[in-house]
Amino acid sequence: MNILLTGGTGYIGSHTAVVLAQAGHDVVLYDNLSNSDRRVVNHLAHITGRPMTFVEGDIRDAELLTRTLRAAGIEAVIHFAGLKAVGESVDKPVEYYANNVQGTISLLQAMQAVSIGTLVFSSSATVYGEPQYLPLDEKHPTSATNPYGRSKLHIEEMLLDVAKSDQRWRIACLRYFNPVGAHDSALIGESPRGIPNNLMPYIAQVAAGQRQALQVFGDDYPTPDGTGVRDYIHVMDLARGHLAALGFLAHHAGWHAVNLGTGHGSSVLEMVRAFEHVSGQSVPYKITPRRPGDVAACYAKADKAARELGWSAQLGLEDMCRSTWKFQRQSESGSSR
């Protein structure tokens, strides 16, 4: 199948490109490079042994999207492109709605123009807001506490309306929990620009001696060790979830929301210990006040993905830490993105 990946040179998009290419699909990467590097395209060719088409463009450019979809004979789109930093979204809501919501509208217009109805959307566990119960299943009420989360929620709702309007649409909203780790080659991975917002890249930089200490945001949560609990999922497992979603959509029309998580929560301190164990480095940390907006615990009920997509996460914390560490060291030597 010919598949377009918006945001295809980004963290999750690039790993998904590997899985799709290795499953025999032809992938076109579409990205404006606002948060990724064009060298990823070469790394992907190296990993998969086949060149990959890259189009530099913005998802808000519906004309270029339409031309690209038509020229490449695209049959399905996986929509990763968007801005994703929660804190930044509070300061720059207009940019977030423009990129994420307006960008998705433009993508839908382009898809409609060339009659492509199969779409997999990168949603997030953030659409559940403050958990009312755990684990989070797909029936949990949705809400948003910041513009980033609200953009994901708006898009999901928009996609539901679109799917209701015409039976030819086949749409999966994949609600990711906390993606971490990297491809085994260490050629691609997560390279945050500036100070990492997220736990895993921050830990990796502390272990590498690039930062002095991790700040643990709060140790007074109602969790076993008082630190925040999340459902960390290996990015290669997540990537395989997209392939499974495409397989599912081949036989199911309509709108579907599915969690992609492991079903297992780990605390900040558990992550620190796992990383120390795998890397052999110490990860100094200090306890600081809670980060505004954080929830105590968030982890998935992953049964629907197993039942409907035939997918479940295979890789554990050790694999997540090992691949992150390998990518960190390779990045320092300058051979990754």
Q: Residue 142 touches which of ligand NAD, ligand UFG, none (CB < 5 to 8 A by kind)?
A: none
Tell me whether residue 148 is one of the annotated catalytic residues: yes
DSSP 50: S
Among 34, 167, 288, 335, binds ligand NAD (CB under 6 A): 34
Question: CA separation (Å) from 181 to 50, 154, 232, 298?
Answer: 23, 29, 9, 19
The partner in contact with residue 291, picked from ligand UFG, ligand NAD, none with C-beta cut-offs of 5 to 8 angstroms by kind, is: ligand UFG
3-state DSSP assignment of residue 204: helix
HSE value, Cβ hemisphere, 13 Å, CA-based, for 76: 23
Query: Does 281 sit near ligand UFG (CB under 6 A)?
Result: no
3-state secondary structure of 118: strand
Tell me the C-alpha distance between 326 and 183, whole Å: 9
Q: Where is 332: in which H helix or E strand? A: helix 317-332
The identity of residue 245, as a single letter, is A
- The CA distance from 214 to 265, in Å, is 20
Q: Work out how close the CB of 265 gets to ligand NAD at its nearest, in angstroms, rounded to a whole number.
A: 16
Q: Identify the residue among 68, 89, 104, 178 touching ligand UFG (CB under 6 A).
A: 178
Q: Does 264 bind ligand NAD (CB under 6 A)?
A: no
Q: Pick the piece of the chain touching ligand NAD (CB under 6 A) from 164-172, 173-181, 224-232, 270-278.
A: 173-181
The residue from 97, 128, 148, 176 that is catalytic is 148
Determine if 124 is a binding residue for ligand NAD (CB under 6 A): yes
Answer for which of 230, 234, 240, 322 binds ligand UFG (CB under 6 A) is 230
* 32: partner contacted, choices ligand UFG, ligand NAD, none (Cβ within 5-8 A by kind): ligand NAD
Among 197, 223, 281, 330, binds ligand UFG (CB under 6 A): 197
> Which amino acid, 98?
A
Which of 28, 66, 77, 84 is the binder for ligand NAD (CB under 6 A)?
A: 84
Q: How many CB atoms lie within 10 A of CB 326?
A: 21
The number of angstroms, rounded, from the C-alpha of 216 to the middle of its chain's C-alpha atoms is 23
Q: Which of these segments, 7-15, 88-96, 251-259, 301-309, binds ligand NAD (CB under 6 A)?
A: 7-15
Least Cα distance to 19 among 333, 314, 325, 326 occurs for 314
Q: State the catalytic residues.
A: 148
Interface with ligand UFG (CB under 6 A)? 84, 86, 124-126, 176-178, 197-199, 202, 214-217, 228, 230, 268, 291, 294
